[in-house]
Structure 1
Amino acid sequence: MTALPTTAQPTGLEWDLLERVPGRPLPGHLYTDAAVYDADLRHVFGRHWFLATTEAEVREPGDFVTIDVDRRSIIVIRDDDGQVRAFHNVCRHRGARLLTEPSGFVGNLTCGYHSWTYGTDGRLLHAPGLTGTDPACLSLRAVAVRAVAGLVFLSLAAVPPTDIDDFAALATPYLEPHGLARAKVAAQVDLEEAGNWKLVMENNRECYHCDGHPELSCSFFPTYGLEAHEVPERLRPAHERFTAAEADLHARCVELGLPDALLEDLVDPDVAHRVAREPLDGAGESFSLTGRAVVRRPLADLGEARLGRLSIHTQPNAWLHVLSDHAVVFSVLPLGVDRTLVRTTWLVHEDAVEGVDYDLAELTHVWTETNAQDSAFVALTQAGVADPAYEPGPYTSSEYQVDHFLSWYTAKMLDGLTAGRAS
């Protein structure tokens, strides 16, 4: 059990979190209760860094995307000086939404209601008839933003946690050689899953269910997540194949000067993370039914196709895989207590041409199918945790990352709840 705080008597939700049993899921109502969901928005998405988008989606000055986190809408835009910025998508006059499209290009940000106009840096440039107020006091409300080697993180906190700097220092040497900051978007698919955002994340944090992903299993080793002593006899050949591929990948990384040491700290930091280079089965080049690359133009000029996958997980809402030929970036955004957006973005070399260098259906096939399968698993779980008969069962050893995710979540929620009572 988590240690008791030394402040005043804990609230009901705090007791629920304090009494969480390590090695088991949360009680069912923590996935179904609207008040808990509201607390998640305040104390997780309202206080901590989360992955919002990629630099590939805002390549040029004036390019923007809008990010929705439940009722909040945030504009991420590249300003006229080339800097990535973020603002609340709320006019400073009477609150109208400034941008209603999910993405696009603007010269300035003009409110469609009364024509208040803002620059791409958020400054109020024009407000018809406004007198007696300094326009400098009416700039758009900024949101903290940090670009990390092509990934764009946001924090809604008034004082954002500072350890995003530590994560950036760790992750940048792994990501930078792959050129994500220069990549372009080949495809983006939004899938609304019928489940609480925590169940979506828990599902991703384990491969215990990966037998349910036949397309992904063509490139994932069937022993993924198992320790050597846990591998059953029937999977020994696959484990030996994995061990050989792992050694081969390490040798190639040494030759190319690519870092490949496992970096794993999934509980304590604000941007808790796992960074790993891992081999792929089959040809070992990409996510496909053969393991062969699906993009003829490599993502970066590394001179080697068989680089497996650079996988990065970050709490609370993201994971991505970077391969020699493309990258796939996933972000999870809560829409309601039992509705979650899973956004999947496929990135390719900036000069890769659809129909020439890649076939879009082939590029997206594995993860389109896998996402649909995961969505069904999440819906089944959401229905089950709402059942009065549900009791949290024990995790297997291969589900340790799920346990770490819930340990991170529990600690951050308790931090927020106790801080709220103290203020």
Structure 2
Amino acid sequence: MNPSTTRADTVAAPPPEPPPGHPGEALPAHYYTDPAVAEAETEAIFAKSWQLVCHESDLPGPGARLTGTVAGREVLVVRTEDGSLAAHLNVCRHRGTRLVSAPEPEGKAIRCPYHGWTYKLDGRLVGAPEARRIPCLDKPRLGLFPVNVESFLGFVFVNLDLEATPLAETCAGLAEAVGHYAGPGLVPVGKHRIHDLADGEEQNANWKVIVDNYLEGYHVPVAHPALMRLLDYGAYTVDVQENYVLFESPLRDKPSSNWTERLYQRLATPMPGLTEADRRVWRYAVIYPNTLIDFYPDHVLAWTALPTAQDRAAIPGGFYTRTGESLRTRLARRINIRIGWETNDEDAELVERVQAGMRTPGFEPGPLSQREVAVGWFARRVREDLEEDTR
């Protein structure tokens, strides 16, 4: 990149508004490869959007706490004494000490490990050792920096923008479509947790390449033989809204030629709370910009794509189910998760290949298929956010 290039120069002028029914335009290659674009996204996208941190089950009772990273800041999320949620920047107002490092036990207060400044769970400063020796100690003005927090579908999201529109409002319609799968009553399955970056996977691609890949089924016939045998590709549908996309694909009636997949087709049984109509369909949702949730008859998988470098991203996530599930549902879930890991490995190779290809001098993406309309939606949203930031 030319040293004289400004950050605004890294964002190309938007393409003309596509005609109705047009899938839109993909992002130019430099959006995935230019470090200046990655830097601009921190404030223009991640600091102004709802970011998935955990599930409510990760904060089981008053005093429970955990941390997540949002736009380069570490956020502390706690369950308060009245059972509600609160979030703060994870930094003491005294000398900037990191307050909480996972894992830490529950407690009625948040105490700085450096000098002992103590805060209520809601962030109010309530104590400082030798307070009389601290001139101008104004406790009401020295509470923890607040962060917007909201539970949606039972998952906990935070937003650094204190004036952000509630997520439930921006995603109106999504809860009605898939809310019967989710909610605070879900329980985790296995060791993986959304907030646990240390135990999560990383992929060698820009976070947008990973989201792009999730946003279309166009590659399924070529890249995912198991999914092609299981899903009715011709009936794969996409519902694009302004702030989310919802996908649906029914399972095939024809038994798979693979015995594992054939066994899953036979065992597929809805979790408690689902209906018979949910037995033969898989649903997927993307909440802009980087929350991805899979709704299966036998479990829910929620994950996110967090940039760790311009060409690398963490993808932490967790599996969830409902209490009271049948043995058939548990067996089906184990098979489904196994198929999912195989698909994930295929996608990890694909996105790494895309990232490598994007670095080819002179390359620019070609036209999108109608099956890639959600990729066009995502590209438009990213361009708009970056352009707004440069203005």
TM-score (structure 2 length as normaliser): 0.81
Equivalent residues of 1:212, 1:373 under 8 A apart: yes
CA distance in 1, matches of 2:67, 2:272: 26
Aligned to 2:250: 279
Partner of 2:231: 220
Distance 1:217 1:186 in 2: 26
After superposition, where does 1:145-224 map in structure 2 within 5 Å?
A: 145-160=149-164, 162=165, 164-187=167-190, 188=192, 190-210=200-220, 211-223=222-234
CA distance in 2, matches of 1:66, 1:41: 18
Structure 2: distance between partners of 1:39 and 1:326: 36
Q: Which stretch shifts more, 78-87 or 346-355? A: 346-355
Task: For 1:113-152, list aligned pairs within 5 A.
Answer: 113-130=114-131, 131=134, 132-152=136-156
Partner of 1:82: 83
1:77 alignment partner, SS class: strand
Q: 2:169, 2:217 → 1: CA distance?
A: 28
Partner of residue 412, structure 1: 385
Once the two structures are superposed, residues 14-34 of structure 1 have per-residue CA deviations (whole angstroms, 9 ceiling, x without a partner) of: 4x1435896443232221222
Residue number in structure 2 paired with 1:11 = 8
Distance 2:319 2:36 in 1: 35
Is 2:240 the partner of 1:264? Answer: yes
1:338-377, Cα deviation, whole Å (9 max, x unpaired): 1211122110114569999459854531222222221221
1:388 aligned partner: 361
- The worse-fitting range, judged by mean Cα deviation, of 348-357 and 18-27 is 348-357
Q: Which amino acid aligns with 1:42?
A: E
Q: How far 1:149 sits from its partner (Å)? A: 2.5
Aligned mate of 2:340, from 362, 367, 383: 367
Residue identity (%): 26
- Contact 2:269 2:279 (C-alpha < 8 Å) held by counterparts: no
Q: How many residues align?
A: 364
Change (3 A) 1:88 1:387: same
Q: Any conservation in 2 of the 1:55–1:150 contact (CA below 8 Å)?
A: yes
Cα distance in 1 for partners of 2:267, 2:317 equals 17
- Report the CA distance shift for 1:224/1:382 in structure 2 as closer, same or farther (over 3 A): farther
1:343 aligns with 2:339: no
C-alpha distance 112-280 of structure 1, shift in aligned 2 (>3 A) = farther
The letter for the 2-side match of 1:348 is: T
Tell me if 1:106 matches 2:77: no
* Residue deviations 1:314-347 (CA, integer Å, cap 9, x gap): 1101221223321111211222211211122110
8 Å Cα contact 1:70-1:334 kept in structure 2: no
Once the 2 structures are TM-superposed, how far is the Cα of residue 105 of structure 1 from its aligned partner? 4.1
Alpha-carbon distance in 1 for matches of 2:15, 2:278: 48
The letter of the residue matching 2:159 is: S
- 1:229 is aligned to none
> For structure 1, which runs of at least 5 residues remain unmatched after alignment?
1-8, 227-261, 267-271, 419-423
Whether the aligned pair in 2 keeps the contact of 1:179 and 1:299 (CA below 8 Å) is: no
Q: Distance in 1 between matches of 2:326 and 2:126?
A: 39
Provide Cα deviations, 1:264-288, integer angstroms capped at 9, x if missing partner: 314xxxxx1123554223599xxx7
| Structure 2 match to 1:322 | 295
| Alpha-carbon distance between aligned partners in 1 of 2:329 and 2:65, rounded to the nearest angstrom | 28
State TM-score, norm by structure 1. Answer: 0.76
Show the counterpart of 1:46: 47
Partner AA of 1:203 in structure 2: N
Aligned residue for 1:328, secondary structure, equals strand
Task: Please list the CA deviations of residues 230-275 of structure 1 after superposition, one character each: whole Å capped at 9, or x if unmatched.
Answer: xxxxxxxxxxxxxxxxxxxxxxxxxxxxxxxx85314xxxxx1123
Residue 407 of structure 1, CA deviation: 0.7
1:99, distance to aligned residue in structure 2 (A): 1.9
Aligned partners of 2:307 and 2:155: how far apart in 1?
A: 19
Verify the 8 A CA contact 1:220 1:281 in the aligned structure 2. yes
- After superposition, the Cα gap between the structure-2 partners of 1:92 and 1:224, relative to the gap in structure 1 and judged at 3 Å, is farther
The CA distance in 2 between the partners of 1:404 and 1:305, in whole Å, is 27
| Contact 1:311–1:321 (Cα < 8 Å) also in 2 | yes
